[in-house]
Chain A
Amino acid sequence: MGAINEIAARLLETGEAKVVIGYGEGSFGSVRPAFARNQEEAEKLIYDKRCTQNLAMYVYKKEISPLRKLAIVANVSTLRGIIRLASENQIKNGDIITLYINELGEVIECKALSEIEICLAEITPEIKPEDKELIDKLDAMTPQERWNFWISEMESCIKCYACRQACPLCYCTQCAVEVNQPQWIPVAANTSGNLEWHITRAMHLSGRCVECGQCGEACPVNIPIHLLPIKLAEEIKNIYGTVSGMKIQESNTLSTFKPDDKENFIG
């Protein structure tokens, strides 16, 4: 048994956690989210380079959240998701034990959220090279070309909301698309309905997105939808110097006024 299994087994045995959220072997060589509730299930947890999925969205999922205390096996994306959720008061100290696996494969058991911040302090977040490449390509386009690119991509959207469900920060109990009085966003998966949905989501995530790219990964029709919030995160870093999901006390950049905020976008 590897370290992760031993730690999970111990946490379950001592009652420090009722469930350990982690990764297990999936279909045909893939990995899947796995949930250890007993010793037998703890033995089946794995961690290797295939475990890139951000699991933070399971923390507030209705079927899991009542089981708090939770423990969660975490890569950097998951750590950032947890920190962001904490900064938005969705997780408090003591709710969750985080089992961060660092670059050397060591398991770092974080019982306090501040310990996660210490782990993150040593990390410089980077986006995937292929995402950077496509963002550069989009940046080089004229606004009209960029519009055409997104309109063409949006045509394939089927409004399955996998992007929303996979997102660690889409935790609203009632999403704007589920409000029908008034109907803010058209329900149909047509051009305007799709555009309004994705623009609303990107705007709602701006300054909050932890750049895990899970929305794009989840998309069953391969729309690179993660590039919208990721690009906005880049803009916010450039303008305000803030990066989401690194520190609990970080400001909610776009919903906080500071006297020295730049105002050069006006006029």
Chain B
Amino acid sequence: MSKIKKLSKESFPLLIKKISETQHVYGPVSQGKRISYQRISSADELASDFIIPDMSAKSFVFPKIEKLFSYTKNKDGVEVQDINLDNIPHRVVVGIRPCDAAGMESLKAIFSWDPSDPIFETRLKRTTFIGLACNQADDYCFCTSLGGSPGDTKGSDILLTKTDTGDYIAEILTSKGEKIVTLAPDLFQDVEGDLQKEKFLANVPKRFDNSDLQNKINAAFNTDVFDEYAMRCMGCSACAFVCPICACFDIQDETKGSKGQRVRLWDSCGAKLFTLHTSGHNPRETQGARWRQRLMHKFSYMPERLEVRGCVGCGRCSRRCPVDMNIAESLNQLIIDN
């Protein structure tokens, strides 16, 4: 249903203003040394000239803290109060990067895999993604090695590509995207001919050949390639938490007196507690086994079970790793060795 329109640079802020009259609008905002997706009320607040926000967009559908239900203990037992899905807001995210948007497809596969998660589903359904194609990239970007691209439309409801004049090519991709257009149809101009979107996209060279990646990574399972990683990886959760797809979670009860709530929190396979048994045994004893799990889950188990990969090549884990655990380099090494 893709339709191509033009959105002039003057119309873009007017569109943000129009949307924010009825819905909460979010976009990449600069806060000192940090760029993150934040609530905005005008286009002026949006950060410019950067590669990618520090945190991914997954928190729109899988926040770092998700209340699942609340409970009250009384003399007859425990009374459970479900959360009211009606309270989940309608939101529009402007300027989401194509890799983050593509990550939504993988998250959807995880959270709808038997049983479907109603909170996630509702959040996703009520979020509209207006993507912004990448016109710059850095050495850590490797979306093209995993089938993505700086202008990939996957996961976006509208994809904007900024042209050399500052105007945008707008691809209207879904019915949610159509709804945005109907809010301000006059701002979107019809176009004739090919606008040559490709001309305005960043160049992201392929870092490795992904054909047969799953088999090659499986073949590495019992090799000593992970020994060096075992020493270097310091076992924090930064890679998992900045990742647009890592979705492992921890469940905690927060109780105060007779009342409490059950929450879902981000968790990470890099942490030693992740698999520690109460007996004291840990099936992933070393940091090398944990790093292997991170790769196997993303590039073997997820493709096998969900038919999607657990990585879109945004490069955040490698950019933010305090000890330079570079995932693309690691994959490349596994491909060469196997």
- A58 touches B (CB below 8 Å): yes
Beta-carbon contact of A188 and B263 below 8 Å = yes
- A94 touches B (CB below 8 Å): no
Q: Which bucket holds chain B's interface residue count?
A: 35 or more
- A200 touches B (CB below 8 Å): no
Beta-carbon contact of A187 and B238 below 8 Å = no
If A62-B286, A158-B241, A186-B254 touch, whether A221 touches B236 (CB-CB below 8 Å) is: no
| A130 CB, nearest partner CB in chain B, Å | 11
How many residue pairs link A and B with beta carbons under 8 A? The number is 105
Beta-carbon contact of A189 and B232 below 8 Å = no
Interchain CA distance A159-B250 in the complex, whole Å: 13
Report chain A residues within 8 Å CB of B161.
Answer: none
Beta-carbon contact of A222 and B54 below 8 Å = yes
Interchain CA distance A19-B231 in the complex, whole Å: 10
Beta-carbon contact of B322 and A217 below 8 Å = yes
Of A23-31, A95-103, A233-241, the segment with at least 4 beta carbons within 8 Å of chain B is: A23-31
| B100 CB, nearest partner CB in chain A, Å | 16
- B184 touches A (CB below 8 Å): no
Report chain B residues within 8 Å CB of A57.
Answer: 234
- A42 touches B (CB below 8 Å): no
Report chain A residues within 8 Å CB of B230.
Answer: 63
Interchain CA distance A217-B240 in the complex, whole Å: 18
- A111 touches B (CB below 8 Å): no
Q: Contacting B140 at CB < 8 Å: which of A27, A31, A58?
A: A27
- Flag B57-87 by CB within 8 Å of A: 1 or 0 each: 0000000110000000000000000000000
Interchain CA distance A188-B36 in the complex, whole Å: 20
Beta-carbon contact of A188 and B236 below 8 Å = no
- A190 touches B (CB below 8 Å): yes
If A27-B139, A63-B288 touch, whether A187 touches B234 (CB-CB below 8 Å) is: no
Beta-carbon contact of B64 and A189 below 8 Å = yes
Q: Contacting B266 at CB < 8 Å: which of A26, A61, A158?
A: A158
Interchain CA distance A160-B241 in the complex, whole Å: 7
Report chain A residues within 8 Å CB of B323.
Answer: 32-33
| B191 CB, nearest partner CB in chain A, Å | 38
Beta-carbon contact of A158 and B55 below 8 Å = yes
Q: Which bucket holds chain A's interface residue count?
A: 35 or more
Beta-carbon contact of A64 and B231 below 8 Å = yes
Identity of the chain B residue whose Cβ is nearest the Cβ of A215 in the assembled complex: B322
| B30 CB, nearest partner CB in chain A, Å | 11
Report chain A residues within 8 Å CB of B34.
Answer: 156, 221-222
If A30-B324, A158-B266, A221-B34 touch, whether A165 touches B241 (CB-CB below 8 Å) is: no
- B237 touches A (CB below 8 Å): yes
- A115 touches B (CB below 8 Å): no
- A6 touches B (CB below 8 Å): no
Report chain B residues within 8 Å CB of A218.
Answer: 236, 238, 322
Report chain B residues within 8 Å CB of A27.
Answer: 139-140, 318, 324, 326, 329
- B277 touches A (CB below 8 Å): no
Identity of the chain B residue whose Cβ is nearest the Cβ of A217 in the assembled complex: B322
Interchain CA distance A160-B55 in the complex, whole Å: 12
Beta-carbon contact of B266 and A221 below 8 Å = no
Interchain CA distance A12-B115 in the complex, whole Å: 54
Report chain A residues within 8 Å CB of B140.
Answer: 27-28
Interchain CA distance A197-B188 in the complex, whole Å: 49
- A243 touches B (CB below 8 Å): no
28 A-B pairs (CB sep. < 8 Å): A19-B231, A26-B326, A27-B140, A32-B323, A35-B228, A62-B287, A64-B231, A156-B31, A158-B64, A158-B242, A158-B266, A159-B64, A159-B237, A160-B236, A160-B238, A162-B238, A165-B236, A166-B234, A178-B273, A188-B65, A188-B263, A218-B238, A220-B241, A220-B242, A220-B320, A221-B34, A221-B36, A222-B34
- Supply 18 further A-B pairs (C-beta < 8 A) apart from A156-B31, A162-B237: A27-B140, A27-B329, A35-B231, A58-B231, A61-B234, A63-B230, A63-B288, A158-B241, A159-B237, A160-B240, A162-B234, A162-B322, A164-B236, A188-B65, A188-B252, A221-B34, A221-B54, A222-B54
Question: B residues within 8 Å of A by Cβ?
Answer: 31-34, 36, 54-55, 64-65, 139-140, 228, 230-232, 234-238, 240-242, 250, 252, 254, 263, 265-266, 268, 271, 273, 286-288, 318, 320, 322-324, 326, 329
